[in-house]
Amino acid sequence: MRNTFLTGLFSFLLISFSGFSQVKSRLVSVDGRMVEVKTSGLEERKLMQPVVIFESGLAEDLSIWDQAFAQVSDYAPVLSYNRAGIGQSDLSSDSISISSRAHELKALLEGMKIDPPYILVGHNWGALISREFAANFSNDVMGLLYLDPITDLDNQEDLTALLTKDGLDGALLSEEYLEFLETRMNRHNPGVQKEVSAFISLLKNNQVDWESKKVEFLKSSVMIGRKADMFPMMGRLSMDSREFYKKLIAGKVDYFEEFLLDKTKTSLVLSSGSMNILPYQEPLLISSNVQNLIFSDVEFQILNAGLKLDADSYGEYLDGLVTYMPKSLITERTYNMLGYSLMRHDQYEQALVLFEKNLERYPQSANVYDSYGDGLLALGKVEEAIPYFEKAIELGTDVSHRDLELFRKNLAKSKEMLASQN
């Protein structure tokens, strides 16, 4: 399952692909330890605009994301980084686990003052870290993209069962496979070796439990590379390595097809790329899936921001939103409907801000004037509301608006309320 054992085959790619990203990595200090990061767009980030975070696979350097980083940075703030002991990031004395790596990311984000929300993109082992982060800090995460994720199927016990079911010596093959991975990692530096040892121990002790992390309420995608044209394992297996990978890929697809059957927030993407080298082969597909995570559920994003922010901050949020969200997703109807939703949540000032932004965008719409009048009435600003109802009637009469009678009733009601106050 490891991209790391492809080091010899793809070392030239690490050099070639570095030219795709003009952004240079830098070192930042987090709790007295230096961490290598690469960022783009953080200085220009709008209020509550999601930041895309790339979480590399086992022993992988941040440079594997260069192509995807460059594409995603065209429309979103982006961060990639090297975990402790990888690249130029200082080695940590702490023991390594999925949980410790997730908290390491949390410390980095807090140290760099990068506020949520986040879109997490995790590759194999990095997918486990992303999932752990989302489970621990669910309010910080807006979406997840898993690339060839490590699952229960990678546990030695589960892998043995999968291969045995096909009439193979599953116990022998799974043992050979893990031994190959562990041996291959001996070429790496001590920091990488430390992470590899933690990973191998996880699989040997059958401790990967994908379903234990309840994050299915978050929008997510699972991407699996279907090609089995992997680097041969140098005769280390008792069967052809490509046939071995075919079985592994088929098992993963079956696992997620069953697991995701009732998970309406998660989609499964089968890529024509090769298993475990999707960051190299599928940057465009990765980018399009990230876009889907950012741009989907826009109505929820707008409503959620209205429930969290004060009126002034909400106005700032909406002004920023239109700079990166496709116009086709923010319609007059969307703002109007969400404004009334905010009123039902007693967020009257935020609702009025939303109605006002709608009025600025659609100054010839009778409906937005009527809605703005409703917003003023909800705040007790009866006299201020009357001219807006009158304007709604004027514009509605010109186009024979279907709600013209409603506009008239609202005007009559507001005049009665004003009269009763005098």
Domains of the chain by residue range:
4-295, 298-421
> What do you get for the CA distance between the two ends of the chain, in Å?
77
Contacts of residue 347, defined as CB under 8 A and 6 or more positions apart, other chains included, come to 306, 307
Encode pLDDT of 224-256 as tens digits.
Answer: 999 877 666 667 889 988 899 899 999 999 999
CB 29 within 8 A of CB 111: yes
> In which band, very low, low, confident or very high, does the pLDDT at 186 lie, cut at 50, 70 and 90?
low
> In which band, very low, low, confident or very high, does the pLDDT at 365 lie, cut at 50, 70 and 90?
very high
Q: Given this model, what pLDDT does residue 14 score?
A: 38
> In which band, very low, low, confident or very high, does the pLDDT at 191 lie, cut at 50, 70 and 90?
confident
For residues 155-168, give the mean pLDDT. 96
Which structure tokens are listed for 272?
């024509």
In angstroms, what CA-CA distances link 283 with 48, 65, 66? 25, 8, 9
For residues 313-325, give the mean pLDDT. 97
Cα–Cα–Cα angle for 368, 373, 376, nearest 5°? 130
* pLDDT reading at 412 higher than 50: yes
187-197 burial by CB neighbour count: b if 16+ within 10 A, else e? ebeebbbbbbe
Which structure tokens are listed for 254?
């079956």
CA torsion sign for 268, 274, 277, 282 is negative
Q: Report residue 58: phi and psi, to 5°.
A: -55, 125
> In which band, very low, low, confident or very high, does the pLDDT at 178 lie, cut at 50, 70 and 90?
very high
The model's pTM is: 0.91
Q: Given this model, what pLDDT does residue 48 score?
A: 97
Strands (E), 207-317: 219-227, 266-274
Mean of per-residue pLDDT scores for the chain: 91
Question: Does CATH place domain 298-421 in 3.30.420.40?
Answer: no
Q: Which CATH class is domain 4-295?
A: alpha beta
CB atoms within 10 A of CB 304: 14
* pLDDT reading at 157 higher than 50: yes
